[in-house]
């Protein structure tokens, strides 16, 4: 079992978007520290194109589109497979759909949260991952 500390951060701390009611966890991606947004309402894992460029990752082409929170359809610019992520003591590999513009660097969706058996504890401010 691994543990990661949950951080509740406020407005203007994530690309100017209020994230005060969302679950954010500090992670390492290829030795780059960033905040990862856990969203139980999202289906795919998403990474911003800006983060892909920052990490110098190579994407695979895609025609996949998704419906984002404002109900608009957004076309992916690529996909990533088996990207290594460190969540506290736990190291995992995740697949991502890459979107051009996002208010976050990385978003983890419900299927991955289920696979990781992630259990947020809002009282103790800890995210338990098995």
Percentage above 70 pLDDT, the chain: 73
For 68-96, write each residue's pLDDT tens digit: 766 778 889 999 999 998 877 778 899 99
pLDDT surpasses 80 at 37: no
How far apart CA 98 and CA 5 sit, in angstroms, is 25
Run of H or E residues at 55: helix 49-55
pLDDT band of 53, cuts 50, 70, 90: very high
Closest CA to 26 of 114, 81, 85: 85
How far apart CA 87 and CA 122 sit, in angstroms, is 17
DSSP state of 42: -
pLDDT surpasses 60 at 5: no
How far apart CA 99 and CA 65 sit, in angstroms, is 9
Domains, the chain, in order of start with CATH, read 2-129 (2.40.70.10)
How far apart CA 20 and CA 49 sit, in angstroms, is 23
Distances (CA, A) of 74 to 47, 57, 59, 123: 13, 21, 17, 35
pTM above 0.75, yes or no: yes
């Amino acid at each position: 079992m691994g543990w990661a500390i949950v951080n509740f951060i406020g407005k203007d701390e994530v690309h100017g978007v209020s994230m005060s009611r969302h679950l954010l966890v500090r992670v390492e991606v290829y030795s780059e520290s960033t905040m990862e947004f856990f969203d139980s309402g999202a289906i795919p894992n998403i990474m911003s194109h800006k983060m892909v460029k920052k990490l110098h990752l190579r994407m695979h082409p895609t025609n996949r589109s998704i419906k984002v929170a404002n109900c608009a359809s957004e076309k992916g610019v690529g996909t990533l497979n088996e990207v290594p992520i460190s969540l506290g003591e736990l190291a995992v590999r995740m697949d991502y759909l890459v979107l051009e513009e996002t208010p976050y660097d990385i978003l983890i969706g419900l299927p991955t949260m289920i696979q990781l058996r992630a259990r947020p504890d809002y009282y103790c401010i800890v995210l338990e991952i098995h």
